[in-house]
Structure 1
Amino acid sequence: MASTLWDEYQVSPVEVALPGGKVGLTLRAYRPASELTPTDIADREDDDAIFSGRTGRPMGVADDEELPEFEWTKEALDEVAAGPAEDEVAERAVEADEAEEADEDEDEEAEAVSDEEVPMFLSHKGRLLLFLSAKGLADFVRSGAPHDLKQLEGWSKLAKSVKATDVVAGEDDAYELDLVVENLRGGPDAWDAELVLRAGEFARDVSYALRLKPVMVALSPGSPLDDLDEALRASEEGGLGAFFAKRKLKKIGAEQASIGWRSIIGKISGAVDWRD
């Protein structure tokens, strides 16, 4: 009965284990980006602070460091008065055409992205709502309290139907983030590919849904942790690719991988609102 309910509304219960012995339940759905309004993070601390000082200046720029002011010279004023040269006008026309083409390409890309299915969780104001019990989650859903999934079509009918016995996460929707760091510390020979890859799946989903920029950057294509995922995935697939993947895994530092994941899990944990 429960699976039929979730299948009908295309929403799934999710179970997440985080450091500290806490295991929480939440809900996740995938919908076209064009149909969703992102969670409101206006009241949450700016994630970009991790890339800059508390003042917002780039790292390495002192607060009392003064940047030189621009000064107009007579030559510069004469050039402005004379207007742009003929070749400069032509160059600007070419640049304008290129900019227009770039804008058109961006519009097409944006339209394509808007049709992609993206994750949305039971969250509110940039924080993931995790419940310690199925009853707590079911009671919350039926209460009509504000959260981001209320925008889904048919949500009101789903909310009225949910019971505690329905809130059971399937095997594919259970994530053990509490075990990732310790596993990575053991080195390549001890790494559990399924554990790490599944943690990456959840972390990417929740970082997108909650707009956690540091986590999105840490797991973005080409990043060291994304390379780790690719090597783990290839090693599991077998064949010649698995041989080279295992060699690559041995070159990835266990310390770097564990520290990177500890930071990710810390960011996710910091964005959790525990209920119950």
Structure 2
Amino acid sequence: MIAPHIDFHRGGHAYARAYLELFKQGQPDVVIIFGVAHISPPAPFVLTRKAFDTPFGALTTDQDLVRQLEAACSWDPYAYEMVHRTEHSIEFQAVMLSYLYGPNVRIVPILCSTFGSELGGVEPADIAGVETFLESCQDIVATLGRRVSVIAGADLAHVGRRFGDAFDISEPIVEGVAERDREDLEYVTAGDADGFYRSVMQDRNERRICGLNCIYASLKTVARSGATGELLHYDYAHDPAGGIVSFADVVFA
């Protein structure tokens, strides 16, 4: 599932739509959550063993699965663990999961940083460390023998003066962003991680899709299922400092 990580007061309706669909599928035993490391530490994925406290109880990490992923890393996955402390993309998913299930589901929290490829012509599939890690995620989904859900806590475009653009938001800007977002999302619903990445990068990610790598990672993780996704909801919200942030709900069931 892809759900937003925008704040609740602007995107709560989108969280509700996505998590209603998750709830219909029945309670998972384990949830792998890919989030965004917005400060982009120099490690493609950042793990943590720590629990996530919420108003509805603490969600504990699945220590065995975290160790399994740790073994797949050619870097120290805890060198930048403190980044988890100030991120919200996984935290908001933890709140929603604990609201639905209390402490009765374990999580595997994974922050996605840059893959070292955004400024060059190399795609994630060509980076050995990234592919090895995601293959281990695939193995967990395919062989664990328990109910596993995979969530990407991902927003889409960040456009406007708040994000460095030299223009104000107008209806044509909003329509243009939505058109490009929907082009990208066609690859997402098809389960085509590489196609999605190329679609975003054809203009060098000028819309600043912050969820680029965590959506890519989630699609790769469920690639062996052969399932296609459904776009449940698409929307955007204004940033109070000038700009818009877009987001979507996509579910593979």
TM-score interval (norm. to shorter): under 0.3
TM-score, normalised to structure 1, is 0.25
Bigger Cα Rg: 1
TM-score normalised according to structure 2 size = 0.27
- Higher helix proportion, which one? 1
